[in-house]
Amino acid sequence: MNNEMTMQFVVAIRDCFKDEDNRELCSFPQIESEDGNEIALSIFHAFQFVVNQLGDTHYDPLEFISVLTRLLFQDAHAEKVGGADDENS
């Protein structure tokens, strides 16, 4: 797992909810929703959109959640057995 890339995404997502004075990235308006389900679903759809734009395969929401689930299980299994030689397997 690329920790630097993960942290860049964390900063970008957290900035969405900060006041404009406290942001590290100032390229979009603050999100003021308190509905956790709405926030999670919006992040999911944004993530799916980016992956579909950058990748060769275009996933519908169910296919995308399936891919994410498979990747999470692979990552958890690799950590359990001491790491994988090939991160893309």
User: Mean pLDDT lowest for which of 4-8, 47-51, 59-63?
Assistant: 4-8
In terms of domains, do 63 and 51 share one?
A: yes
In terms of domains, do 43 and 76 share one?
A: yes
Q: What confidence category does residue 42 fall into, taking pLDDT thresholds of 50, 70 and 90?
A: confident
Domain count of the fold of the chain = 2
**pLDDT of amino acid 69:** 96
pTM (predicted TM-score) = 0.65
The residue segments making up the domain with residue 3 are 1-32
Decide if pLDDT at 41 tops 60. Answer: yes
Q: What confidence category does residue 65 fall into, taking pLDDT thresholds of 50, 70 and 90?
A: very high
In terms of domains, do 28 and 43 share one?
A: no
What three-state secondary structure class fits 53?
Answer: helix
The pair of structure tokens assigned to 28 is: 């979009």
Distance set, CA 6 to CA 13, 33, 62 (Å): 11, 23, 23
